[in-house]
Amino acid sequence: MKFIPDSHARLWAISVFVFIAIFVCIICNMAIQREMTWLVYPVCSLIFAWGVFAPLIYRGKDGLLLSLGLLSGLILPYLLVLEQWTHTGGWFIPVAFPISVFAVLFIWITYAILTRIKNPWYASSAIIAAGGVLSLCTYLAILGLSDFAMFPWGWISFGSALGLALLLLIAGRIRREANNKL
């Protein structure tokens, strides 16, 4: 006997917990500060997470593409709402926008790699290489959109990722050749 027998019940139970968490945030914020201040962060985050993960919870593997699509479409509006409601302007375009765009791109590249490359060594190598390239792109985009003086983490992560990807590619090749000799 399962605790929660089907996807409807799981989604319903998680929805109830999310609603309770939102309600608790509202009560705590109003009781402590008598106005809505910090509750914007957890409430927006809970609604965003519920919206993105609900198809995955409800439909399992069949909901993965819908969840990825919702994540892709909702991440920028979510961050823009946070910036506007918290009156902390100035970080959406120069920082959040490039990071979000490249993160979503990385998620879709990872999905494509995992559905097409069956060898785990080659898939890992490709994912790490893509992460290094997109990390560098993110770094360069942030430098181009803002005046943030940053340590060259983009170049360091790019070089490290490509080095690790090359090592995994070589290890996968050696392992495949060793298996072919058997």
**Per-residue pLDDT reduced to its tens digit, 118-169:** 999 999 999 999 999 999 898 888 887 776 656 777 788 899 999 999 999 9
| pLDDT at position 105 | 97
| Gap between the Cα atoms of 85 and 26, Å rounded | 15
Summarize the confidence of residues 27-34 as an average pLDDT.
91
User: Which pTM value belongs to this model?
Assistant: 0.78
With cut-offs at 50, 70 and 90, classify the pLDDT of residue 90. Answer: confident
pLDDT higher than 50, residue 1: no
| pLDDT at position 2 | 54
The domain spans of the chain are 1-89, 92-175
CA distances 100 to 3, 68, 134, 157, Å, are: 37, 13, 11, 18
